[in-house]
Structure 1
Amino acid sequence: MSQDNALHGRWAVATFFFVNGFMVGSWAPQIPLLVSRFALSESVLGLLILVVGLGAVAAMPVCGYFMSRFGSRVVMRVAGPLCAVSLLAVAAAPDMAVLVAALAAFGALLGGMDVTMNANAVAVERRLARAIMSSSHGFWSLGGFAGAGIGGVLAQQWGHLFHAGAVTAVALLLVLAAVPKLIVERRAPTAPAGGLLSGFPRHPLAYLTGVVALFCMVPEGAVLDWAALYLRQEMGANLATASLAFTFFSGTMALMRFLGDGLRNRLGAVATMRLSGTVAATGLLGAGLAPSPLVATLAFAFAGLGIANMVPIAFSAAGNQPGISSAAGMSVATTIGYSGLLLAPSLVGFVADRTGFAVIFIGLSGLLALVVMMAGLVRPADTIAAQPAE
């Protein structure tokens, strides 16, 4: 494949990242509309959101198996268009039974698209012999920002069905435009003997890399879920000020993701992970010890600079494990990471009820310090140029 075609493949997979983030962001404005349509209590809504997460986690190893058989591009060609129309099915659900099924499918397609686009990004990295994973995740952040920002206006002005239809049209158009440019792995995929379960790698390094991904994802999720509440309840900030913690954190994280590939190409994955983990741990420690909402907000923004590239590096390492296909490595890392992420919000809430959020963020800074010590596990991400092009 020529360099030009590889570059086309790079922008095609970036489009898939944008669309996946766009769908996640577009889901957010639909949540309050679901509450009013079905008169949902908070506990029932929590269970329905859990259905989305369980669908995503269940789909990841399944898609890993199909990628092992057919390659990431084939699975993306199925998951991408289906994911683009899945929010419309949620919005059109006439009753609770259909809604549950639609939410499970929505989550499964988001998760399936997630693991396949990350695996395809690894293949693009090998073709180009340089990192592109961090900026790919940056496009995911842009998609989420666009979906949430535009979606709220559309849903308020024209209702949930119009909003979902517009989201579907935009997402489907982008996916169909990108599909022909996706790269095809050069090495013929082979089906694991023995079926789905045998597709899981036996080497413990694959699972340890998944644990690293989990340790990187939990602090990110905690800031997104709880930072505003921390500033509001424990530091006395007003609602507008409290929301700035999320805004600043997301902004610095998105910015650093677009700068992260250049940093990683210069320093290497291990050194970048250590630097990123140190910055992130310092930021969360500062947030937990902050004397005022302003200092806490700036500390969260600083943490975003570090957290930004940690998950992309972990995923790149997972897809470049020696002796393991990128499909198998990626499915393990995403399944472990997202499974833990499902449990983390409730665990954080349970502990925070007894200790307060300041202790939580101080503890999470310790978790990130542990990632710094484990940074050697992401060394396979430094072997992109030495890996056979897929």
Structure 2
Amino acid sequence: MVMRIGAERAAVSALFLANGLMIGSWAPKLAVLIHRLEISEGTAGLVVLCLGLGSLVIMPVFGAMTARVGSRRAVCLAGLLAAPTLLLITMAPGLVGVAISVFLFGGLLGGMDIAMNANAVAFERARCRAIMSSCHGFWSLGGVIGSGLGGVVLAAWGEVAHAVLITVLFLAILALALPRTQADRPASDVQRPPVRLPRDPLPYVLGFVALCCMVPEGAILDWGTVYLQRELGASLALAGWAFAACAATMAIVRFVGDMLRQRFGAVGMMRVSAIVAICGLVVAGSASGPLGAIAGFGLAGIGIANLVPIVISAAGNLPGMAHGVGLSIVTVMGYSGILLAPGSIGYLAERMSFSFIYLGLGGLLLVPLLLSGLMRSASLNAGEPDALGASGSAQGVDHAA
């Protein structure tokens, strides 16, 4: 039994690693596409938009599939369909073909994202054990490997070899992980909640919380380097540490986030994380030099790390709702924050300083702080003071089953 639980946990973690590997491999590939297709940065921006649009269109499909047939079958289909998409991008002969391939790449990996998060939720519900934060830690690790390995392989062996290598690694991880994932059995047709947009406002509120949590992360990723260079006089080499500091602390803290959530409860963890993230953004926005801003972004990463995993767990455990539906709403709304952040902040940066923008983003995180009480369904111990009584008994049934 212990070995089976360990294998199931390792399997879902491996899925996050594989997904992050593919997404991370996209980062160095964009520069190669610009050169191969001889397109401008503006046109390249439209290609990137296709990736986001693919996610927004296809993710709800896999959310519904997860609710109807279970996350295990959904993640198998999404992963296998996503496997050749990096090769498709590489082999596509023109801009239109690349755009369509990027749309599928973003959409199918987004669909896998929905299903693997649901599988992690299924594990948490069945075992009453938090794993969501560490799963997202493995996603971050996969992103670092994909980005770092991708740059080296692209430079040494070229675009085709890079796509083949990443695809083989992705398929190898899937082959090891998919047979061992948590088997979640959907309810019978009589008991199964209907798969439709719910009338209950709670999943949409949780989606808005996720959006508020992800916008600051996207702002640091896309504009942190520009802020350090333009307003704080940093060199390019030093400015590159803006997001690196945030990403590094996020990855580290995510690997201990489950233990902290298990010990202190989802609500308490959400409050502390939001406060730390707000403090980090205030430090970064009010810094007088690049080192202070980098330290602020690193502190912000500590807080941001566990905000989204907690919201996802809460969405996946909403009582009386198929967890694929709740996850789909929250994930799509949350990822729209990543899509909205670059353009919106670029527009604002033409009219005000980045310093003021980052201070304002600290204010945006007051939303998850003030609504942290809605995260009770992410608490996994029935005896926790912030756990819902109803969810506690439901978890007991899942555990006994």
From 304, 319, 325, the counterpart of 1:322? 319
What does the per-residue CA deviation read over 1:154-176, in whole Å, with 9 as the maximum and x for residues that have no partner? 00111111100000000110011
The list of structure 1 runs, each at least 4 consecutive aligned residues, that deviate by more than 6 angstroms after superposition, is: 191-195
* Residue pair 1:70, 1:190 contacting (<8 A) in 2 also: no
Counterpart residue type for residue 380 of structure 1: S
Aligned-residue offset at 1:6 = 2.8
* Residue pair 1:6, 1:127 contacting (<8 A) in 2 also: no
Aligned-residue offset at 1:354 = 0.7
Aligned-residue offset at 1:4 = 3.2
Separation in structure 1 between the aligned mates of residue 68 and residue 322 of structure 2, nearest angstrom? 11
* Residue pair 1:320, 1:380 contacting (<8 A) in 2 also: yes
For normalisation by structure 1, the TM-score amounts to 0.96
Aligned-residue offset at 1:384 = 6.1
> Which blocks of at least 5 consecutive residues in structure 1 are unaligned?
none
SS in 2 for 1:199: coil
Task: Identify the residue that residue 288 of structure 2 maps to in structure 1.
Answer: 291
What does the per-residue CA deviation read over 1:19-51, in whole Å, with 9 as the maximum and x for residues that have no partner? 111001101111011001111111111111000
Task: Identify the residue that residue 6 of structure 1 maps to in structure 2.
Answer: 5
* Residue pair 2:83, 2:170 contacting (<8 A) in 1 also: yes
SS in 2 for 1:355: coil
Q: How does 1:252-331 map to 2 (within 5 A)?
A: 252-331=249-328
What does the per-residue CA deviation read over 1:100-131, in whole Å, with 9 as the maximum and x for residues that have no partner? 22111101111101111101100011122111
Counterpart residue type for residue 285 of structure 2: G
Task: Identify the residue that residue 17 of structure 1 maps to in structure 2.
Answer: 16
Task: Identify the residue that residue 242 of structure 2 maps to in structure 1.
Answer: 245
* Residue pair 1:10, 1:124 contacting (<8 A) in 2 also: yes
What does the per-residue CA deviation read over 1:192-228, in whole Å, with 9 as the maximum and x for residues that have no partner? 9999xx5222211111111111111111111111111
Change (3 A) 1:15 1:298: same
Aligned-residue offset at 1:364 = 0.5
Separation in structure 2 between the aligned mates of residue 189 and residue 228 of structure 1, nearest angstrom? 52
* Residue pair 1:55, 1:108 contacting (<8 A) in 2 also: yes
SS in 1 for 2:204: helix
- Structure 1 stretch 93-102 or stretch 14-23: which is displaced more? 93-102
- Alignment length, in residue pairs? 387
Aligned-residue offset at 1:370 = 2.5
* Residue pair 2:218, 2:337 contacting (<8 A) in 1 also: no
* Residue pair 2:130, 2:380 contacting (<8 A) in 1 also: no
SS in 2 for 1:77: helix
Separation in structure 2 between the aligned mates of residue 259 and residue 104 of structure 1, nearest angstrom? 34
SS in 2 for 1:324: coil
Separation in structure 1 between the aligned mates of residue 23 and residue 332 of structure 2, nearest angstrom? 18
* Residue pair 1:192, 1:199 contacting (<8 A) in 2 also: no
Q: How does 1:28-39 map to 2 (within 5 A)?
A: 28-39=27-38
Change (3 A) 1:291 1:190: farther
* Residue pair 2:193, 2:320 contacting (<8 A) in 1 also: no
Task: Identify the residue that residue 54 of structure 2 maps to in structure 1.
Answer: 55
Task: Identify the residue that residue 338 of structure 1 maps to in structure 2.
Answer: 335
What does the per-residue CA deviation read over 1:267-316, in whole Å, with 9 as the maximum and x for residues that have no partner? 10000000000000000011000111111111111111110000000100
For normalisation by structure 2, the TM-score amounts to 0.93
* Residue pair 2:59, 2:108 contacting (<8 A) in 1 also: no
Identity across aligned pairs (percent)? 47
Separation in structure 2 between the aligned mates of residue 189 and residue 40 of structure 1, nearest angstrom? 52
Separation in structure 2 between the aligned mates of residue 112 and residue 189 of structure 1, nearest angstrom? 24
Separation in structure 2 between the aligned mates of residue 173 and residue 49 of structure 1, nearest angstrom? 27
Task: Identify the residue that residue 176 of structure 1 maps to in structure 2.
Answer: 175
Task: Identify the residue that residue 153 of structure 1 maps to in structure 2.
Answer: 152
What does the per-residue CA deviation read over 1:34-74, in whole Å, with 9 as the maximum and x for residues that have no partner? 00111111111111100010001111111111112211100
* Residue pair 1:85, 1:172 contacting (<8 A) in 2 also: no
Q: How does 1:175-194 map to 2 (within 5 A)?
A: 175-188=174-187, 190=189
Separation in structure 1 between the aligned mates of residue 188 and residue 328 of structure 2, nearest angstrom? 15
Task: Identify the residue that residue 77 of structure 1 maps to in structure 2.
Answer: 76
C-alpha RMSD over aligned residues:
1.7
* Residue pair 1:69, 1:190 contacting (<8 A) in 2 also: no
* Residue pair 1:281, 1:368 contacting (<8 A) in 2 also: yes
* Residue pair 1:71, 1:189 contacting (<8 A) in 2 also: no
Aligned-residue offset at 1:7 = 2.5
Task: Identify the residue that residue 360 of structure 1 maps to in structure 2.
Answer: 357
Separation in structure 1 between the aligned mates of residue 174 and residue 187 of structure 2, nearest angstrom? 24
Aligned-residue offset at 1:243 = 0.8
What does the per-residue CA deviation read over 1:327-348, in whole Å, with 9 as the maximum and x for residues that have no partner? 1110110111112321221001
From 211, 217, 222, the counterpart of 2:208? 211
